[in-house]
Amino acid sequence: MLKSLNIFFKLLKKSLARWNTNDPFPKGATIAYYTLFSLPSLLIIVITIASMFFEREAVQGRITAQIGDFVGQDSARAVENMIVNVSASKESAWAIIISIGMVLFAATGVFLQLKRAMNDIWSVAAKKANFRTMIIDRLISFGMVLVIGFLLLVSLVISALLNVLKDHIEEITGSLTASLVHLLNFGISFVIITLLFAALFKLLPDVKLRWKTTFIGAALTTVLFLIGESLISFYFGKSEPASVYGAAGSLVIILLWVNYICLILFFGAEFTVQYATFKRERVRPNHFAEPAIYQEIKKLSTRHLNPEEEKRILAQLRANLEITEKE
* pLDDT tens per residue, range 24-56: 999 888 888 877 777 777 777 777 777 777 777
Average pLDDT of the segment spanning 262-274: 92
Of residues 111 and 239, the one with the higher pLDDT is: 111
Residue 315 and residue 261 share a domain? no
**pLDDT bucket at 230, cuts 50 / 70 / 90:** confident
User: Do 298 and 280 fall into the same domain?
Assistant: no
Residue 322 has pLDDT above 90, yes or no: no
The yes-or-no verdict on residue 270 having pLDDT over 60 is: yes
Q: List for the chain the helix, strand, coil content (%; round to 5).
A: 85, 5, 10
Instruction: Say whether both 252 and 300 belong to one domain.
Output: no
| 194 lies in the same domain as 140 | yes
CA distances from 184 to 139, 171, 227, 264 (A): 34, 17, 18, 24
pLDDT of residue 145: 67
Predicted pLDDT at 302: 64
Work out the pLDDT band at 273, boundaries 50, 70, 90: very high
pLDDT band at 255 (very low <50, low <70, confident <90, very high): confident
Residue 35 near residue 114 (C-beta atoms within 8 A): no
* Same domain assignment for residues 88 and 125: yes
Same domain, 67 and 90: yes
Q: Name the pLDDT band for 221 (thresholds 50, 70, 90).
A: very high
Average pLDDT estimate for 96-108: 64
Instruction: Please report which confidence band the pLDDT of residue 242 belongs to, taking 50, 70 and 90 as the band edges.
Output: low
The answer to whether residue 271 scores a pLDDT higher than 90 is yes
Q: Say how many CA atoms lie within 13 Å of 66 toward its Cβ.
A: 15
Shared domain for 125 and 141, answered yes or no, is yes
Greater model confidence, 82 or 23: 23
Helices 307-326 and 292-302 cross at an angle (nearest 10°) of 160
The per-residue pLDDT of the chain, averaged, comes to 75
| Higher-scoring residue by pLDDT: 67, 87 | 67
Which band of pLDDT confidence, cut at 50, 70 and 90, is reported for residue 135?
confident
Is the pLDDT at 324 greater than 50? The verdict is: no
Mean pLDDT, residues 286-298: 76
Cα 230 to chain centroid distance, Å, stands at 18
Task: Provide the percentage of residues in the chain whose pLDDT is more than 70.
Answer: 62
pLDDT computed for residue 327 by the predictor: 47
pLDDT at 292 over 90: no
Please indicate whether residue 132 or residue 262 has the higher confidence score (pLDDT).
262
Residues 26 and 169 in one domain: yes
The answer to whether the CB of 50 falls within 8 A of the CB of 59 is yes
pLDDT of residue 326: 47
163/228 same-domain check:
yes
For 163, counting Cβ atoms within 10 Å of its Cβ (0-12 exposed, 13-18 middle, 19+ buried), the class is exposed
Structural domain of 46? 2-285
Higher pLDDT, 287 or 220: 220
Confidence at residue 49, expressed as pLDDT on a 0 to 100 scale: 73
Distance (Å, whole) CA 41 – CA 33:
14
Q: Looking at the structure, tell me whether residues 281 and 302 fall in a common domain.
A: no
Is 175 in the same domain as 273? yes
Output 230-236 pairs: Cβ under 8 A, ≥24 positions apart: 232/257, 232/260, 233/69, 233/70, 233/71, 233/72, 236/71, 236/72
By percentage, how much of the chain surpasses pLDDT 90? 12
Per-residue pLDDT reduced to its tens digit, 184-206: 777 888 888 899 899 889 888 88
Q: How many domains does the chain have?
A: 2
Q: Which of the two residues, 304 and 190, has the higher pLDDT score?
A: 190
Please check whether residues 252 and 221 belong to one and the same domain: yes
Contact 218, 268 (CB under 8 A): yes
